[in-house]
Amino acid sequence: MVFIGQFIFYCMMTIVIYQAFVFVQKKLGKIWLNPMMLSMLVIIPLLIANEISFKQYYQHTQIFSHLLEPAIVALGFPLYQQLQTIKSNAKVIIQTLCLAISIMLIVNVTLAVLILNTQEVAVSLALKSVTTPIGLELTEDIGGIAAITAVGIIIAGIVGGVFGLRFLHLTGIHCPKAQGLAIGCASHALGTATITPVSSNHGAYSSLALILSAVITAIASPLLIPIILNLLA
C-alpha cells in the first residue's frame, strides 16, 4: 500500500507540475517556456528540500520512461506525411547530416580535450546530441562516462528545444526543412517534440534527422573519436 501511495503521489506531482507549465506556455505563446525545462527547475528543488533521492523518485515514475518509447515512435507520423518530398532530397540530406555530425564530433572532442584535458569527459560530451539509448551505449564502448553523457543529452535537448528556432532565425535560416534537420540533429527527441507542433515540415525533417543522426553517429563515432584523441595526445 505504501508503494502504491508513493507511486500515485510522485506520478501525480509530476503530471500536475508539467501540465501547469504546458498551460502557461500555451497561454503566453512563448516557445522558450519549455514545460520540461521548467518542470525540472521545480521538481529537482522539491526533491532536494524533502530529502528524496533521485533513485526513489525514478523508481516510482518509471512508467513515464516506458511511455517515452511509443511517444518517440509517434514522431514518425509527420515523417510519413512528407515521405515523397524527403525521398527526392534524400542524397542531399544524408550528405549534409554526415558532414554536420563529423564536424560536431571533431569540434566537441577537440574543445573538451583542450579545455578540460580529460579524454573520458571529451568522449562523453561528444555524444550529447544523439538519442539517449544510443548515446549511453556508445559512450561505454568508446571509454566515456555514461552519467556525463546522459546529462549532456538532456541539456542539448532542452537548449535546442527552447532556443533552437530563435537561434536559427537570428542566423538567417528560415526554411522549415532546414530548421527541422538542424534541431533533430543537434537536439534529438526533446528538440523534435518541441518543434513538431510548429509545422508538419518541422516535425518530419526533425524526426528524419533524429533517426539518421543516430545511425550515422553510431557508425562514425567509434571510428572518428579515437583518431581525434590520438592526434590530440
Q: Indicate yes or no: pTM above 0.75.
A: no
pLDDT at 3: 60
Measured distance CA(200)–CA(195) in Å, rounded: 9
Measured distance CA(150)–CA(114) in Å, rounded: 22
pLDDT at 76: 67
Q: How far is the CA of 132 from the CAs of 24, 35, 137, in angstroms? A: 28, 19, 8
pLDDT at 75: 65
Measured distance CA(183)–CA(122) in Å, rounded: 22
pLDDT at 1: 53
Measured distance CA(74)–CA(79) in Å, rounded: 10
Residue labelled with grid coordinates 515523397: 84
Residues of the chain with pLDDT under 50: none
C-alpha cell at 221: 563515432
Helix 146-170 vs helix 119-126: crossing angle, to nearest 10: 50
Neighbours of 109 (CB within 10 A): 25
